[in-house]
Amino acid sequence: MNPEKGNNTSTDKKFRALMAKAHEGIVLYDVQGRITYATASSQNILGFEVEEVLGKSGVDFVHPDEVEISSRNLASVLSVPKSSITFRQRLLHKNKHYIWAETTLSNFLHDPDVGGVISNFRDITSQKLAEDELMESKTLLESINQNIKEAIYRNLPDRSFEYVNQAFLEMFRFESLDELNKVTSSSLYVDPDIRQFVKKELLEKKAINNIEAEFKRKDGTTFWGLISSTLITAPDGTEYFDGAIRDITSQKQAEEKLKRSEEFLTSINRNIKEGLYRSTLNKGMVYVNDAFAEIFGYSSAKAILETDVEDLYYHLESRKEIVKELREKGSIRNKEIQFRRKSGEVFWGLMSSYLNKSNAGEYYFDGAIRDITELKKTEHKLIVLNETLKSQNKKLEKRENELNKALQELSDRNFELDQLVYKTSHDLRSPLSSILGLVHVAKLDDSSESKTEYIDKIGASIHRLDDFVKSMLNYAKASRVEVKNEELNIRELIDSSINDLEYLENFDKVSVEVDIKGEEKVNSDKLKLKIILSNIISNAYKYMDLDKEANFLKVSVSHLKKTLKISIQDNGIGIDEEHLPKIFDMFYRGTEKSQGSGLGMYIVKQSIDKLEGKISIESTPGHGTTFTITIPIR
């Protein structure tokens, strides 16, 4: 369709001019929703030339969020001849922004002169923004109304409430406005005279502000409220009381409590023995109680207020330190300070103070001072007495420990003595009986060959006696002799312990390896180290596995800064696991092949304990045994 096509008549020109200046835009849609006609006024609204919109779909100019509803509205109008629908939508302006438009779609497909759907639209952007702003303001006002703690109301004098917010209902404990209006507004007051006073003031002065009144809730309980109200006259002459009530019950209770507290503090201030004060940096003392004046030896509180605050301190630096600490931390608690009385006498005071700030921004110190001079004297006496008691307690504790240790050692020695007597009698009598028997048999046998055999057997018994005597000596040295540290060569000590066993029959069958890491010179007890090494090394030889082709003994030493670590490993017959926990017990033998006294490992453990060291053992039958010894270096 050619836009604005018609005869060049005067009427046509006027119509065209009128349409161009109209505030509404008019377009014509076909059944597919394409634009077939547009007035010049549409350009004034959307900025597009008429030729730019012809043939395009109407939804091309609709905001994406409104395309669906716009299409639905067009379809609705198309489905009913002569129908129309009015709605709002955002339309695209040529400058790439959207305007709000009120659009009316009318179905004129049945009219041969029109043959389409007419869309009348006008720019309502300013109206829409104003409406949105108004709605936002209403929403904000209602939100404030419903969320503030004050009870908001509109009341017709001597009649019902037209509006109350949620806070009003909650404050008076009504469920709804309807329920509230079942009672008279005057019944909400505890005192009818207050109600009449409020009404009179409002009618005369048109407004009241912060009048205290006691109100009654639905359930009969009461509360104190602060009421403010204004008399409003509507255009039709109707008068309203618009107002707000704030629950001040807690405030009233707090005021009453404060009043009682002030009375209580006044009483305390008069009777307390502590000196209370308030001072400032510039003005000095601005308040002291009578007790303060008495502590410092002044005749009255007024007299001390006229004194320079620095004169009250024995050391001026104390005052400076207190001010500095109060500024940094805000308070001090129970600080002991030396003060000076008016007479010049020095006394000890216990001071607590807080830094506060007035409404005018001035800083001041509030505090208390208690005379603790006598307490300090008593405290000094107690300290001296306490130190004396501590010294005596330490001596008693030391003596008690010594006695307990002596008793424990005595108990241990008694037990060991019982064991020793029994074992000694057995281990001494057994070889002696063998010797006596062999001597008797030798006397009866005249054979020279037999005599040699008897002599060898007697010698073996004597060696057993000698080993037992050596064990007794080592036991005595390990348990009786105190630790004596001296510088020694650990390699020489190991070599000596090995060489002492050269008399053993299978001595040469054991391959020996000694590895020392660190200094060979060690500071420790030579005698006890020798006992430890000799006993463990000798067991490696005595209990070698003769069924193995090669037997070895590996001694590894690590000399650390404060520790000596010794590992002694062999591949002998080993020890069954069941024997390991008892291996260090007195007279315990870990294998049936043992021919010793059963004191060796016990003496080793005793010696290591004396050196404050530790020993551990790992052993597997048929594979060998490893002892690990750790001894602190003094």
H helical segments located in 148-289: 166-172, 177-180, 192-205, 249-271
CA distance 491 to 514: 8
Question: What is the sign, positive or negative, of the torsion defined by CA atoms of 493, 499, 504, 507?
Answer: positive
Contact assessment for residue 203 and residue 233, using Cβ atoms and an 8 Å cutoff: no
Secondary structure, 3-state, 487-550: EEEHHHHHHHHHHCCCCCCCHHHEEEEEEEECCCEEEEEHHHHHHHHHHHHHHHHHCCCCCCCC
Mind listing the pLDDT tens digit for each residue in 280-303?
877 788 889 889 999 999 998 889
CA dist 226 → 98, 221, 249, 347, 530 (Å): 51, 17, 9, 54, 99
Phi, psi of 296 (to 5 degrees): -90, 5
Sheet strand arrangement including 84-92: 35-38, 24-29, 116-123, 98-108, 84-92
CA angle 336, 337, 343 (to 5 degrees): 135
Burial class (CB in 10 A: 0-12, 13-18, 19+), 299: exposed
Which pLDDT does position 7 carry in this prediction? Answer: 47
How would residue 197 be classed by pLDDT, with cut points 50, 70 and 90? very high
Which pLDDT does position 3 carry in this prediction? Answer: 45
Place of tokens 């209370």: 276
- Residues 6 or more apart in contact with residue 404 via CB below 8 angstroms: none
CA dist 159 → 154, 201, 239 (Å): 11, 18, 11
- Residues 6 or more apart in contact with residue 31 via CB below 8 angstroms: 78, 109, 116, 117
Tell me the HSE value of 378 on the side-chain side, using a 13 A CA sphere: 4
CA end-to-end distance (rounded Å), the chain: 117
What percentage of the chain exceeds 90 in pLDDT? 41
CA distance 216 to 191: 9
CA distance 596 to 619: 19
247-276 CB burial, b ≥16 within 10 A, e <16: bbeeebeeeeeeeeeeeeeeeeeeebebbb
What are 336's strand-pairing partners? 350
Question: Among 208-217, 271-280, 359-368, which range has the highest average pLDDT?
Answer: 208-217
Q: What is the DSSP letter of 64?
A: G
- Residues 6 or more apart in contact with residue 175 via CB below 8 angstroms: 169
Secondary structure, 3-state, 552-597: EEEEEEEECCCEEEEEEEECCCCCCHHHHHHCCCCCCCCCCCCCCC
Instruction: Tell me: pLDDT of 5 over 50.
Output: no
- Between 159 and 464, name the one with better pLDDT: 159
Which pLDDT does position 1 carry in this prediction? Answer: 40
CA distance 402 to 130: 99
Q: What is the DSSP letter of 189?
A: B
Which pLDDT does position 603 carry in this prediction? Answer: 82
On whether the pTM is more than 0.85, the answer is: no
Which pLDDT does position 465 carry in this prediction? Answer: 64
Mind listing the pLDDT tens digit for each residue in 17-42?
556 566 789 999 999 999 999 988 88
CA distance 131 to 117: 29
Which pLDDT does position 229 carry in this prediction? Answer: 92
Token output for 113: 């002169």
- Between 602 and 73, name the one with better pLDDT: 73
How would residue 11 be classed by pLDDT, with cut points 50, 70 and 90? low
Which pLDDT does position 478 carry in this prediction? Answer: 53
Tell me the HSE value of 364 on the side-chain side, using a 13 A CA sphere: 17
Question: What is the pairing mode between strands 275-280 and 363-371?
Answer: antiparallel
Contact assessment for residue 164 and residue 152, using Cβ atoms and an 8 Å cutoff: yes
CA distance 338 to 161: 71
Tell me the HSE value of 566 on the side-chain side, using a 13 A CA sphere: 25
Q: What is the DSSP letter of 109?
A: T
Pick from 223, 206, 205: nearest CA to 214: 223
How would residue 422 be classed by pLDDT, with cut points 50, 70 and 90? very low
Token output for 257: 């409590």
What percentage of the chain exceeds 70 in pLDDT? 82
Contact assessment for residue 621 and residue 514, using Cβ atoms and an 8 Å cutoff: no
Mind listing the pLDDT tens digit for each residue in 454-476?
676 676 667 656 665 665 555 55
Instruction: Tell me: pLDDT of 421 over 90.
Output: no
Place of tokens 């503030």: 148
H helical segments located in 91-160: 125-147
Place of tokens 């240790």: 405
Pick from 513, 625, 522: nearest CA to 574: 625
Residues in the chain: 634
Angle (deg, nearest 10), helices 600-610 and 448-480: 20
Mind listing the pLDDT tens digit for each residue in 488-533?
999 999 998 898 888 788 888 899 999 999 999 999 888 888 888 9
Tell me the HSE value of 547 on the side-chain side, using a 13 A CA sphere: 4
Rounded mean pLDDT, 55-61:
92
